[in-house]
Structure 1
Amino acid sequence: MSMSTQLPQEQRQRCEVWTRVMGYHRPVAAFNPGKQSEHRERRHFTESAANGRSA
């Protein structure tokens, strides 16, 4: 069953993204513009993919 439902604009809400910074969690929206830009440029990886590489 692949039925998709779309909410009306007035029922939608923004998804708040949090990240770990210096040992504690913080919402990305609270970052200054430079730190937000740095967060957007980060490359994400999976631990299993990183462990499979030989050095």
Structure 2
Amino acid sequence: MQNILETQSILDKHQAERTKCLVYTRVMGYHRPVESFNIGKKGEHKQRQHFTEK
């Protein structure tokens, strides 16, 4: 719990310096920002398994 509070304190302190990060994903052959998804598609995106191919 202490670690979460420390992290939140650091984030709050540097809020003015932060920039928004857009996450894109490939959908049906083209890239789209995840923030434009509807609530159901956002839920599916969070459940995806990420992997690194060797």
Letter in 2 for 1:42: R
Gaps of 5+ in 2: 1-10
> What is the aligned length?
43
Corresponding position of 2:49:
43
The two structures, once aligned, show a CA RMSD in angstroms of 1.6
Letter in 1 for 2:27: V
Identical columns (%): 58
Q: TM-score, normalised by structure 2?
A: 0.70
Letter in 1 for 2:23: V
Pair member with larger Rg: 1
Answering whether residue 35 of structure 2 is matched by residue 29 of structure 1, we say yes
1:46 and 1:12 mapped to 2: Cα distance? 28
1:11 and 1:45 mapped to 2: Cα distance? 31
More helix by share: 2
